[in-house]
Each structure stands twice: as C-alpha cells, then as structure tokens.
C-alpha cells in the first residue's frame, strides 16, 4: 500500500471518484451557530477545504433546518461544480413519494445546484414509506435533480431490503457511525457485505467528537509515520477500500490535519495495534 498520494487516494461512489476524507457539516449553520454569526467563517473553512483538494461535502436538510445547505451553496460558488461531490439527505418525517420529491427540490434550491448523492437519513418506522421514498428518488435521478441514491443508518437487513426494492437504479452508499471506538460495521457483517456489493460506506463521527484525537496510544502509533492520533484514527477507516470518512469541517487547522490522513496507510500490524488503543 506504499506510494499512495493525496491525488490518487480516491474512493468510488457510484461511478464517481471522491477523496477518502470529506467535510461534514453537522452543526454548521445550526446548533453550534444558532444566530448565524459565524456563517462567514464556515463558508471560508469549506472553501479552504476545496482548495486543499477535498472534493466531498456532506450536508442534510436536517442540519440547521436547511441552513447548512445554504452555507454549502455559498461555499461552492466559483468552483467547478463537476469537481465537487455533494451529499444531502431527506429526514424520515418527509418520507413518501410526493413529500420526498418536494423536500429534495427544496434542498437543491438551497444548495443552488443538483445533488450528487441523496440519502434516506434514518430508517424511520414504516417500510412502505421507505419504499415510496426510494422510488421517488429514482424518478428524481431521471429528472436530473439527483445523481445517485443511498441510505444512512441502515443495518444489513434493511440495506438488503432496500436494494431489493429498487426498480431502476442501485443503492450506492450507506452512511453510518463508524470509528475505531465503534466498529459495529465490522462486527455486524455490514462492512464485508458492502465491500462485496461495491457499496460505499461513509463513516460519520469518525473521531468520536475529538476523543480519538486525544488518544495517547494512537499518538504513539502515529509517531512512526509522523502522524497525529486523529490521522491514525482516520487512516484506520479509509484503509478499507470502500470506506470514506467525513469528520466535521470545524476549522482550517482541523481540515489540514484531517487531510493528512490520506496518502499513506498503516501497516497491518499497526492497524491491529490501533484496535487495542480504545
């Protein structure tokens, strides 16, 4: 695995290539900034990430009641749209054929552009609503409003059921909580299944809200590579061929550190040692 560089350390979502590390926007425009006073700073940070070469941004209608999408829309202005991959999501209260179409159009309007990957944010309580929503998204692909369809927080059984429900297109991604501390995708069989199916696993909360970045054991492993504990924790995830990590884009310093997780790989032995650090 030696010789990987920032520029070819890419993963696939559908037929597109994205950076192995993306930018998460949970909290941006919402609970961390309820008065929107730091919107300009958030836009600047996202733009800086794009300038670094990170081409994946993850947002949702639920984040800041849509304001996160507006911030993303401002941040991408002036960049080549085809070089950016935007993920957004529909909240379960908006599941259903007509309602899913309505809120997807509202998200695209806030973003000021089409959506590359549109996810069902959580399973919700009704399979019928999930199925209707998946079929609505297939029609939105035909309309050109979205490009790919995925799910989020779906376990193995529900992911398989969603695949079976598709009529024209495929489920290309499942965004789930996954970190060195919370390795349930590994133990549940979800990760192995998604690898076999060619489905991207997008890992959110990969640093466990910063606790892994302060892990002294991981920092010790990182010294061998000239890397930080956070970079080791992220590299552990993207070591898997179909895993993409989306730590929050909190600051320029954090973006630089996050992006330092690409372009190299832990050895198998050190990856095993990392498991023992948490």
Which pairs from 249-255 meet CB under 8 Å and 24+ separation? 249/23, 249/24, 249/25, 249/28, 249/42, 249/45, 249/46, 249/49, 249/57, 250/45, 251/45, 252/44, 252/45, 252/48, 255/23, 255/45, 255/48, 255/49, 255/52, 255/54
Please tell me the distance from the alpha carbon of residue 18 to that of residue 160, in angstroms, as a whole number.
24
E strands along 40-153, which residues? 56-58, 85-90, 115-120, 146-152
Mean pLDDT estimate for the chain: 94
pLDDT tens string 141-177: 999 999 999 999 999 999 999 999 999 999 999 999 9
Contact (CB, 8 A) for 255 and 49: yes
**pLDDT category of residue 25 using cuts at 50, 70 and 90:** very high
Domain 10-209+233-264 in CATH: superfamily? NADP-dependent oxidoreductase domain (3.20.20.100)
**What pLDDT shows up at residue 27?**
75
* pLDDT (mean) for 68-83: 96
| β-bridge pairing 10-13 and 16-19 | antiparallel
Helix and strand totals (H; E) in the chain: 11, 10
Contact (CB, 8 A) for 67 and 30: yes
Contact (CB, 8 A) for 112 and 66: no
**What pLDDT shows up at residue 4?**
46
**pLDDT category of residue 35 using cuts at 50, 70 and 90:** low
Radius of gyration of the chain, Cα coordinates, nearest whole angstrom: 18
Helix, strand, coil percent values for the chain (each to nearest 5): 45, 20, 40
Please tell me the distance from the alpha carbon of residue 73 to that of residue 86, in angstroms, as a whole number.
10
Q: HSE-up of 142 (CA within 13 Å, CB side)?
A: 10
How do the domains of the chain map onto residue ranges? 10-209+233-264
Please tell me the distance from the alpha carbon of residue 174 to that of residue 161, in angstroms, as a whole number.
13
Q: Is the pLDDT of residue 6 over 90?
A: no
pLDDT tens string 208-258: 999 999 999 999 999 999 999 999 999 999 999 999 999 998 899 999 999
Does 63 qualify as catalytic in the annotation?
yes
Catalytic residue among 63, 178, 204, 236: 63
pLDDT tens string 172-220: 999 999 999 999 999 999 999 999 999 999 999 999 999 999 999 999 9
* pLDDT (mean) for 67-81: 96
The least confident of 16-30, 64-78, 145-159 is: 16-30
């Amino acid at each position: 695995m030696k010789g990987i560089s920032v520029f070819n350390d890419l993963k696939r979502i559908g037929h597109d290539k994205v950076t192995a590390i993306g930018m998460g926007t949970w909290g941006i425009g919402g609970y961390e900034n309820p008065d929107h006073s730091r919107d300009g700073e958030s836009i600047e940070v996202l733009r800086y990430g794009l300038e670094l070469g990170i081409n994946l941004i993850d947002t949702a209608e639920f984040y800041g009641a849509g304001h996160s999408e507006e911030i993303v829309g401002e941040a991408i202005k002036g960049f080549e749209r085809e070089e950016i991959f935007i993920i957004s999501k529909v909240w379960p209260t908006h599941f259903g054929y007509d309602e899913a179409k309505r809120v997807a159009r509202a998200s695209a309007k806030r973003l000021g552009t089409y959506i590359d990957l549109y996810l069902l944010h959580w399973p919700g309580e009704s399979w019928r609503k999930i199925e209707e929503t998946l079929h609505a998204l297939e029609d939105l692909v035909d309309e050109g409003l979205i490009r790919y369809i995925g799910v989020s927080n779906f376990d193995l059984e529900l992911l398989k059921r969603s695949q079976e429900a598709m009529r024209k297109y495929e489920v290309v991604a499942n965004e789930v909580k996954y970190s060195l501390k919370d390795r349930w995708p590994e133990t549940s069989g979800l990760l192995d299944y998604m690898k076999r199916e060619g489905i991207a696993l997008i890992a959110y909360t990969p640093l466990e809200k910063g606790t892994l970045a302060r892990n002294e054991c991981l920092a010790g492993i990182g010294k061998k590579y000239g890397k930080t504990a956070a970079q080791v924790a992220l590299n552990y995830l993207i070591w898997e061929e179909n895993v993409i990590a989306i730590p929050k884009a909190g600051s320029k310093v954090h973006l630089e550190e996050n992006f330092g997780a690409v372009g190299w790989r832990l050895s198998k032995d050190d990856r095993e040692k990392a498991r023992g650090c948490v």
